[in-house]
Structure 1
Amino acid sequence: MAEEELQMEEGGKKSKLMMIIIIVVVLLLGGGGAAYFLLGGEEEVATVEGEEQAQMDGDDGETSEGVKAGTALYVAIPNPITFNVPGANRDRLVEIKVQLMVRGSSAEEQVKMHIPSIQGALNRAFSQANADDLITEAGKAAIRGNALKEVQKTLKDVSGNELVEQVLFTGFVMQ
């Protein structure tokens, strides 16, 4: 009877050991498969980025259809633009945080060099605003369009290129 119990214990230990080995193997294979799945597509991304860079270098950032190519980069204006605007009932204080969208690292570097000129252009654009207009989304879109025109005009005068594709408001406070 004692021999039968000893054989059962050894059989139980072997089956537990086999279960542990199987679980470890499954986890290792699952982790390896997940890593391959998550990290496997990097070569395709590098190829696409290389093609975009070649297009940007070849035709000054534009394809034959006039669509801008290249990586969109964002240049943050370091300080928010703060200004007063007149309103029908009272004047208001407005603070806008601005980022500029450019295409390519060379455009990014040029825009960073001319930040003070761009801040002046933004101040000119924002000084034409009215508090009653800024309450509406259409008014914000209009001031954003006006700011883009002013920034592009300033950069064209300073560097010879417009460089900035969009003016984005990342913070907008009106009191």
Structure 2
Amino acid sequence: MAADDNNSENQEEQGGKSKKKLIIIVAIVVILAIGLSVGATLFFLKGDDSGSSEDEAVPAEEVKMPAVYLDIKPPFVVTYDVSGRQRYMQVFVSAQSRSQESLDEMELHMPLIRNKLIMLFSSQDFEALQTPEGKAALRTESLTLINEILEKEASGSSIEQVLFTNFVMQ
């Protein structure tokens, strides 16, 4: 019986050692799994940060400044002689720009701009101005004329659009 007692004690010690080994192995596997998941998370987050820094390095679309307007006052009144009859055209003009400096330069050179616009308006064909295409062409010519003056006199300032806010012909 004494031999049986030693045998059972050896089995218990070996069983106890086996349980301890199993617990240690499971603990090591759990620690490795946690370490790998943390490492993978940091790796992927680091990859995302480098991607966003690349996005920052790429220049973003240029943000347009809000539009600023300048009303050219007083309105333009031009006379035409059409088939022996006196005809009139009255035009209220505004200029649009994204730069207040361009409009300030335009105000500074307003006498020259008004003179050139009056000459342009009076040289137009009265019948052609009654069509939408004629009015659009006049707007385009006005824009070109003003930008040429600003380029020459104000060293490169420009406006985006010329707007006719009121256009009366009779």
Confirm or deny a common fold (TM above 0.5).
yes
CA distance in 1, matches of 2:155, 2:87: 36
How far the C-alpha of 1:162 sits from its partner, in A, is 4.2
Q: Distance in 2 between matches of 1:142 and 1:68?
A: 29
Structure 1 residue matching 2:134: 3-state secondary structure: helix
Counterparts in 2 of 1:107 and 1:64: CA distance versus 1, 3 Å: farther
Query: Could you tell me which residue of structure 1 aligns to residue 164 of structure 2?
Result: 169
Structure 1 stretches of 4+ with a deviation exceeding 3 A read 86-91
- 2:92–2:165: 8 Å Cα contact kept in structure 1? yes
SS class of match (1:71): coil
Measure how far apart 1:147 and its partner are: 1.0
- The CA distance in 2 between the partners of 1:91 and 1:68, in whole Å, is 49
Do 1:101 and 1:165's aligned partners in 2 also have CA atoms closer than 8 Å?
yes
Secondary structure of the 2:135 match is helix
Over the aligned positions, Cα root-mean-square deviation in angstroms equals 2.4
Kindly state the Cα deviation for residue 117 of structure 1 after the two structures are TM-superposed. 1.7
- TM-score (ref. length: structure 2): 0.59
CA distance in 2, matches of 1:141, 1:70: 25
1:134 partner amino acid: L
Aligned partners of 1:81 and 1:123 also within 8 Å: yes
Q: How many pairs does the alignment contain? A: 112
The one-letter code of the counterpart of 2:165 is T
**8 Å CA contact 2:102, 2:157 repeated in 1:** no
How many Å separate the matches in 1 of 2:82 and 2:108? 35
Equivalent residue number for residue 47 of structure 1: none
1:68 CA drift (Å) = 8.4
Aligned counterpart, 2:79: 84
From 100, 106, 110, the counterpart of 1:111: 106
For the pair 1:101 / 2:96, whether they are aligned, the reply is yes
Relative to 1, partners in 2 of residues 1:86 and 1:64: Cα closer, same or farther, differing over 3 Å? farther
Q: Distance in 1 between matches of 2:88 and 2:103?
A: 30
Give the structure-1-normalised TM-score: 0.57
Question: 8 Å contact 1:153–1:162 — kept in the other structure?
Answer: no
Q: Which runs of 5+ in 2 are unaligned?
A: 1-58
Which ranges in structure 1 are unaligned for 5 or more consecutive residues? 1-62
Instruction: Choose 101-110 or 144-153, whichever is displaced more.
Output: 101-110
The 1-side partners of 2:63 and 2:166 are apart by 26
Identity across aligned pairs (percent)? 30
**1:86 CA drift (Å):** 3.9
In the superposition, relative to structure 1, how do residues 92 and 162 fare at CA in structure 2: closer, same or farther (>3 Å)? farther
1:19-168 → structure 2 map (5 Å cutoff): 69-88=64-83, 90-168=85-163
Larger radius of gyration: 2
- Contact between 1:88 and 1:132, CA under 8 Å: does it hold in 2? no
Change (3 A) 1:143 1:68: farther
